[in-house]
Structure 1
Amino acid sequence: MTDLIYEQPLNEKIRSYLRLEYLSTQLQNNLTQDHQHRCFYPLFSLCELTDRCDYRSDVLKDLDRNIALLSKWLELPHVDKAQINDIINRLTQAKAPLQMPDRIGIHLKKDKFISALRQRFGMPGACCNFDLPQLHFWLGKPWKERQLDLQCWIDQYQPLLTPISLLLELIRNTADFTPADAKAGFYQGDSAQALSLIRVKIDTSQGCYPTISGHRNRYAIHFVDFEQQRHTDKTIQFLLATCT
């Protein structure tokens, strides 16, 4: 069968980062294959989230904190200095575009074509050609031209999406997956260190999925039988990573 990874953020900042990463992944999928008008749904969700909140300050603080921590690690013996310097360089490069004065995505919000579509997309069935003839015209363009347009729109959010992807990569790398057993479908744990992300990897052949709750020092995992849609009483074997 297939192993699936489930992730549960333990604070609001990581929750936001994961949502933005998810939208970035959806946009990249739409960039590599022609999904017609469906490419606009993750794009407008990204517009909505960045309209509500300016994530720049949090991301810059996290970049600076990681650069400072990794710089201290360089002073320790028996560390891979080349790898650490590579990560520091990636963090530094990701930081530079975020320091530009323009608000993320501001130019896209001024685009008349995008604005017209965004106003209509929240309505059920509003993508008909009589509702949005400009969309019908755009979809009639060759895929290569539309691909370039989409890439241009995505690029306006890359100053935010690139560092978030890098920060989440670093967070996930703070913990390896280790085997664990959930007796009667329940597992509970705690940590002396503040946690930011719980990751559960489980084989789909076990027929269940985890629901995860917790906060920075404690967490609980309940496994739910998919067919019966209720808590399982079986012992579930899974892999667990608790990321700081």
Structure 2
Amino acid sequence: MTELIYEQPLNEKIRSYLRLEYLASQLHKSLTQDTQQHSFYPLFSLCELTDRCDYRSDVLKDIDRYIITLSKWLELPHVDQQQINEFISRLSAAKTPLQSPDRIGIHLKKDKFLSALRQRFGMPGACCNFDLPQLHHWLAKPWKERQLDLQCWVDQFQPLLTPIGLILELIRSTSDFTLTDAKAGFYQGNSSQTLSLIRVKIDTTQECYPTISGHRNRYAIHFVDFDHQRHTDKTIQFKLATCS
């Protein structure tokens, strides 16, 4: 049995966080295995996103908010104080690098090799050796050398990616998965709390996937038959987590 998790952000900030987390996971895969030129797509996507928006203000506010919330949880009975204190320490440690006056990823703009590649990478088939001879020279280097280069480039974004990973980990921990049925492939719910993330876990043998919509307190889930690409009329059993 293989279960897939689908996530739907319910506000623009969480949407941005999830995109950044996804790109971070792609880059970390590139650090452990040689993906050749494919490692540049997530790298340049991160450059593009951080060029458009400086996320530090939102992330710093979220760090402070979660530290205050977790500190209050310490006063509650029957809580795992060690785990809460560990999260507070990790959040506090992630805050300092984010307070640097330099814009995230700014030093990569000064890298002539990356700048030349970035200008071309948006073009279809632009990785040919006659388009980017410098890329083919770099790809011919030993993997260990290229791995060090990649690590150096990824480190430019870690002050932002590390706290975002912690924040999303905390958000996901606010709700456990519960077994639920979608009658005729549809499920609708609401919450007294403001929600930020809907998570759906479903077995791939059901041959369908969810499309999720919602905002703040209300959400709806439609299940789509993959083979026919249309809404299924079957009762679908799935696991649901509504995270605040």
TM-score computed with the length of structure 2 as normaliser: 0.99
Residue 205 of structure 2 corresponds to: 205
Matches within 5 A, 1:112-127: 112-127=112-127
Residue 28 of structure 1 corresponds to: 28
Question: 1:37 aligns to what SS in structure 2?
Answer: helix
Listed one character per residue, the Cα deviations across residues 52-105 of structure 1 (whole Å, up to 9, x for unaligned) are 000000000000000011111122233222111111000000111001111100
Residue 46 of structure 1 corresponds to: 46
* Inter-partner Cα distance in structure 2 for 1:221 and 1:136: 46
Shift of 1:139: 0.5
Identity %: 82
Matches within 5 A, 1:219-238: 219-238=219-238
Aligned partner of 1:64: which letter? D
Residue 91 of structure 1 corresponds to: 91
* Inter-partner Cα distance in structure 1 for 2:113 and 2:140: 15
Question: 1:21 aligns to what SS in structure 2?
Answer: helix
Question: 2:7 aligns to what SS in structure 1?
Answer: strand
Residue 78 of structure 1 corresponds to: 78
Residue 185 of structure 1 corresponds to: 185
* Inter-partner Cα distance in structure 2 for 1:185 and 1:242: 18
* Inter-partner Cα distance in structure 2 for 1:206 and 1:78: 39
TM-score computed with the length of structure 1 as normaliser: 0.99
Question: 2:216 aligns to what SS in structure 1?
Answer: coil
Gaps of 5+ in 2: none
Aligned partner of 1:217: which letter? N
Listed one character per residue, the Cα deviations across residues 142-190 of structure 1 (whole Å, up to 9, x for unaligned) are 0000000000000000000000000000000000000000000000000
Paired residues, number: 244
* Inter-partner Cα distance in structure 2 for 1:162 and 1:89: 13
Question: Which range moved further: 233-242 or 101-110?
Answer: 101-110
* Inter-partner Cα distance in structure 2 for 1:76 and 1:234: 44
Matches within 5 A, 1:53-202: 53-202=53-202
